[in-house]
Amino acid sequence: MEGISRQTVRDYIANGISTIKGMSSTISAQVVALLIEAQTESGINGPVMEIGVFEGRMFVLMALASEPGEKLFALDTFRHPDDHQIDRFRANLDRFGIDKSRVIEKKGSSIDHGPWKLRQEMGVPARFIHIDGDHSYNGVMHDLMISHKCMSDSAIICMDDVMHPYYPGLTLAVHDYLRANPSLAVFAVVDRASIVAASKYMICHRSKLEFYQAIIQDRIGNHIRHTQGDFMTNRALIVMPDAQKR
């Protein structure tokens, strides 16, 4: 059963994640898992949510790392690349033993789902949100807005594909949203292979910036590059697979 053994999560990262279509890297999976586990240890709980689940590569990881009683929100059109996407998603949940009674599927564009209704369905604010949905400027701004309104004071928003050369509008949207909402801060940039290839921004309320950076420094310090990301109002850790070699 998910949420019980850390070894289950480690086994999924080592052997299972690559069997589900998607682009999330091993290092980003490790960071997501350790952050969710650290939240649990610190008494931070609540639903987890993903906007843009595709076939469940990251969703399964978040489900395994979270606690058995926590709700799992999956927002997707479930029509890419075909109408059988949802069948493959559900099959992957079954394959890795995810209790589907925890899963709330929200079909359609995220624009169809307002934050107030989502918060009502959640019951309590979300503790971890992964955004990998509409990569357009307006789509990202909307996804960040609903995530911001659904997150708890101790929550993390993980924004995928920042600085990807295919999606400059996504990167502009993330930075514009952060500039307009200074209570949020990027505490870490998680690299895929190189910064140009695309990275994940780990975002939290500014009050939790040092808390989450300390967790990363303590648990995967060998993956932190000496140089830090300069966000003007704060510095972010740069997490890379081979940080010590660069």
- pTM score of the predicted model: 0.94
Per-residue tens of pLDDT for the chain, all 246 residues: 344 578 999 999 999 999 999 888 899 999 999 999 999 999 999 999 999 999 999 999 999 999 999 999 999 999 988 999 999 999 999 999 999 999 999 998 888 888 888 999 999 999 999 999 999 999 999 999 999 999 999 999 999 999 999 999 999 999 999 999 999 999 999 987 665 568 999 999 999 999 999 999 999 999 999 999 999 999 999 999 876 555
Which one, of 198, 228, 230, lies nearest residue 216 by Cα? 228
The pLDDT of residue 27: 92
Which one, of 155, 111, 161, 156, lies nearest residue 135 by Cα? 161
Show the tokens assigned to 83. 């109408």
The pLDDT of residue 3: 41
Which one, of 116, 126, 182, 181, lies nearest residue 153 by Cα? 126
Measured CA distances, 149 to 7, 35, 58, 109 (Å): 33, 20, 22, 17
**Cα atoms in the Cβ-side hemisphere of radius 13 Å centred on 150:** 31
The CATH H-level superfamily of 6-211 is Vaccinia Virus protein VP39 (3.40.50.150)
Q: Give the number of other Cβ atoms within 10 Å of residue 149's Cβ.
A: 14
The pLDDT of residue 244: 59
Which one, of 154, 145, 210, 212, lies nearest residue 180 by Cα? 145
Q: Give the number of other Cβ atoms within 10 Å of residue 139's Cβ.
A: 20
